[in-house]
Structure 1
């Protein structure tokens, strides 16, 4: 990494960081304070451990800052949560010293200690104006509360009505005040209380300080640094960049309102994924690692910022709905719900650009076409990803071309879209062969996938709908997960592990029947299968009336594979 990208990297103590005459400012629209008791407790336990090991140090991770208007001003690009929390801890120590002075305990010395610690860690008054200058400035939501209440050691009148992040700041202050009160050796001892801050916290807590030149440099550091405590996200960086382009206050306020609504819809964690799929409707290849650079290249002024926001807003609700079959989007389009459930069950997302395009092209005038596309990508996903386990990187370029064709009206029907998607549609012969050897564990979340597959096969085989979500069946292992020794007569023990989760070894049974079958012998199980209401299970008794072997399992799975090829099929016409 060149010096132009990373101006300076060094290890620095909290005392050097906060006592070096620098002022640290959180960019106005960076995220609010969000640490809670879990993080406060971790930090406190680390500090307590350091008190017992005065020659040891604890690394707080990377602090990424950017030069601002002067040599003394730095923007906190990453690390605001830690800086805010340590500053509040310092204020808690200062307030505790004030309490001791008020109680008449070494009053003059404790007041002097509190004054010196405030000057060193919080800020100092200008000798001419007598205005206190804080070394830390938080974002627009948190800074007024931080400066007017915490820095001044004032209690808010009604903490319960504070905004969430302000409330967390206040709770953080209270937490550390209480923990300080729990330490018997410093409860009444101003010297030890001061030493906790000025020695343990100030000198034994270390940061990796990284000073960068600009937003792009910060993003490069973010992408390459792998250090404990790195908190900045792609969403934060993108937000900071977009807001930096908007200078007019009224526009900033409008952007903030709309941005917050957008983020609430898609969630901060999934915003980069959403943005990437949005761009893939237009661009053939968008890598996660280049999102920030791509936006910098495409968005350079306020008009382009708001144009991007408008485009994202038009797709945000659909993106959220694709992860939730109960989303309001599907109230009047209930036929879409089964396919939304399937796509989430398969854990696939790459089809999002095609669904964005199909929704915009055919809703609300022709919803049947949208549902057709939805079914199409579900079947493709099942064949490609679940059964044949092919490389998912093959999907995105094809979905991009299809999305572009739908948007430009070159693909006017679902059949035309399928022709574009055909390269990622696993052909019948390969799908059938892959299904014939498929094995899926029935533990954890995979259990739902197995029940879905068996329910779909049962629906086809019996001619009656078997809903995987509501049907009372449970999954029966013909060869049990924990076979008794008598199974060795039919099934060599060396084959048990390979066979137990094969699809050919799994079937559906009502729970009471499944409990009776349990680890019973095959001859006991087969009588239960004959009485089952599930056709797939009845078929086992006909195929294997007396014994269950690896050869019979293979034969049954080949038959299930033949059925599966008909169930998960797209007819091009």
Structure 2
């Protein structure tokens, strides 16, 4: 079989794309047809605008295909667009046949319909006289497409169709309705021109032909797909299914795949797979994910071996992203640290936690969660260090757990000590730490202040449920009265420093608003929050940059005690 070049790119209109007997196939387990009215309307609008501008072109984006021969191609990305164009062509051909049936230029419209059918949908093989389709959809859609749509047969029970087949039928009906509303809807010649010229020659694709799945994946990762197109998860899945030839095995794979994706979700699967591979390899770049995947998966047994490895990790992967997961109902002591990971937006530790979940006792696993929460707060949140350093170290932590070198959290602390920010740096960085009080940052501010308040008062404060609000001692919108104690040129860099923030009851915060410090400081001692009461002790008369610095350094000293490893 003749293969295409490694990468062949060219611009082609629809007629050029599907001409010369070319056949396009959607891989059997690629996603079902999923476009809806929004996408159909976009395409129809593009087409009707082109009718008024016969010299213009409209680009539909990239069509990525793997060349199986010089005439047969497997669609890697673009099946939704190609299928929708074929449905629009079918609607026009059906309209021409309807005109002929009503004796409107019977012979000419029949001839037009047959000619267009040969160009856009398929033509008879000169030897077998069997009509061959130019497009074959996936295994869920192809039978309906070939047996009903291509034959222009109405389904007996459209409402009973499976969802994606119902979308195919509804799309055909949508375009049929739009055609009936055109001013030239009874003019066979103009309808034929609409398909052969406007759609066939003014709609353009960038056709990218690759010679194997690896190059397809590489190309795909650089494209911005339009609409509901293929994802990297689809590509990984399609490759797995391509390794299985026995139908019963494919059915088993399909069931197990559906179960896996239900846990990790399709958008997250590449990340999940990458973290799984990071338990084995020190570095797995997203761009090389498919290459490693393909090197590991060559035979059917490799596919099922990988599933055996992934399935147990899918549940803990889901649990690490969800503080309400059932795992944490059974182990409530772990839940605060899962909340921390979500707040800090850290995921790099996942390979180590995969391994620890499998090998450590629950008690040691929770100790490791606490350690990683502290490491993440110091490294990611306060010191904001380079996250590229983390994955090789968490890989090492995972490897040592899996090979038995690390058997408890204290051993993992040894493995992770290189990313535990030292006290001097942590204190220095905390002393200048600044964070705005909006969106996700607001949750982080509440977390830090609640932790500090709990430590200073001895009363546990849950940042999720505590009713206190965030008070800016130097207000977010200071009046000119503040320039007496606090130079205006320092406002912007001071307002969101942690030393300028404290917890305060909502009603009291509302009452003092942007008032001068002399009025605010009378309210602070009446607060239930010890952290806020102490503001008046630090600054009984005025609030200055020096007093803000002193308060934040004091907070940093307290933070050293709160966010400290048990193994430091």
**Partner residue, 1:386:** 381
Q: Matched residues in 2 for 1:564 and 1:386: separation? A: 13
TM-score calculated relative to the size of structure 2:
0.94
Asked if residue 564 in structure 1 is aligned to residue 564 in structure 2, the reply is no
Shift in Å at residue 204 of structure 1? 1.0
Secondary structure of 1:54's aligned partner: coil
Equivalent in 469, 473, 492 of residue 474 of structure 1: 469
Q: 2:453 is matched with which residue?
A: 458
Consecutive unaligned residues of structure 1, counting only runs of 5 or more, are none
2:147 is paired with a residue of what secondary structure? helix
* Superposition pairs of residues 271-282 of structure 1, within 5 angstroms: 271-282=269-280
What does 1:304-453 correspond to in 2, within 5 Å? Answer: 304-362=302-360, 366-453=361-448
What is the TM-score normalised by the length of structure 1? 0.93
Aligned match of 1:209: 207
Q: Using the TM superposition, name which of 287-296 and 118-127 deviates more.
A: 118-127
CA distance in 1 between counterparts of 2:49 and 2:352 reads 54
Corresponding residue number in structure 2 for 1:531? 526
CA contact (8 A) 1:281 1:354 kept: yes
What is aligned with 2:13? 13
Task: Show the counterpart of 1:94.
Answer: 93
Aligned partner of residue 352 in structure 2, secondary structure: helix
Offset of residue 349 of structure 1: 0.6
Instruction: Decide whether the 8 Å contact of 1:8 with 1:212 is kept in 2.
Output: yes
Residues 119 and 334 of structure 1: is their aligned pair in 2 closer, same or farther, counting only changes over 3 Å?
A: same
Instruction: Say which is worse superposed, 126-135 or 302-311, in terms of deviation.
Output: 126-135
Counterpart of 1:409 in 2: which secondary structure?
A: coil
Partners of 1:479 and 1:368 in 2: CA distance = 44
Distance 1:41 1:569, change over 3 A: farther
Cα distance in 1 between the residues matched to 2:8 and 2:228: 17
- 2: CA distance between counterparts of 1:91 and 1:308? 43
Q: Per-residue deviation at 1:116?
A: 2.5
Q: Which residues of structure 2 form unaligned runs of 5+?
A: none
Q: Does the Cα contact within 8 Å between 1:137 and 1:143 map onto a contact in 2?
A: yes
Q: 1:99 to 1:502 in 2, by over 3 A?
A: farther
- Cα separation, partners in 2 of 1:395 and 1:92, compared to 1, 3 Å: same
Deviations 1:226-247 (A, max 9, x none): 6867944332222222222212
Alignment length, in residue pairs?
A: 566
- Matched position secondary structure for 2:76: strand
Cα pair 1:181 1:187 within 8 Å, conserved: yes
Cα distance between partner residues in 1 of 2:311 and 2:126? 51
Partner of 2:298: 300
Aligned to 1:139, the other structure's residue is in SS state coil
SS class of match (1:154):
coil
Query: Comparing 18-27 with 94-103, which one deviates more in the overlay?
Result: 94-103
User: How do residues 138-287 of structure 1 correspond to structure 2 at under 5 angstroms?
Assistant: 138-183=137-182, 185-224=183-222, 231-287=229-285
1:554 aligns with 2:549: yes
Structure-2 separation of matches of 1:157 and 1:436: 73
**Deviation per residue, 1:184-231 (Å, 9 max, x gap):** x23333333332222111111111112222222323333455686794
The answer to whether the 8 A contact 2:29-2:139 is kept is: yes
CA distance, structure 2, for counterparts of residue 491 and residue 155 of structure 1: 78
- Structure-2 residue corresponding to 1:497: 492
User: By how many angstroms is 1:566 displaced?
Assistant: 1.2
Comparing 92-101 and 495-504, the one that deviates more = 92-101
Aligned pair in 2 of structure 1 residues 444, 157: CA closer, same or farther (>3 Å)?
A: farther
Query: CA RMSD for the aligned pairs?
Result: 2.2
**8 Å contact 2:4–2:209 — kept in the other structure?**
no
Partner Cα distance (1:531, 1:181) in 2: 75
Which residue does the alignment assign to 2:36?
Answer: 36
Return the alpha-carbon distance in structure 1 between the equivalents of residues 181 and 542 of structure 2.
Answer: 69
C-alpha separation between the residues in 2 aligned to 1:343 and 1:562? 23
* More divergent stretch after superposition (211-220 vs 3-12): 3-12
Change beyond 3 A, Cα 1:459–1:167: farther
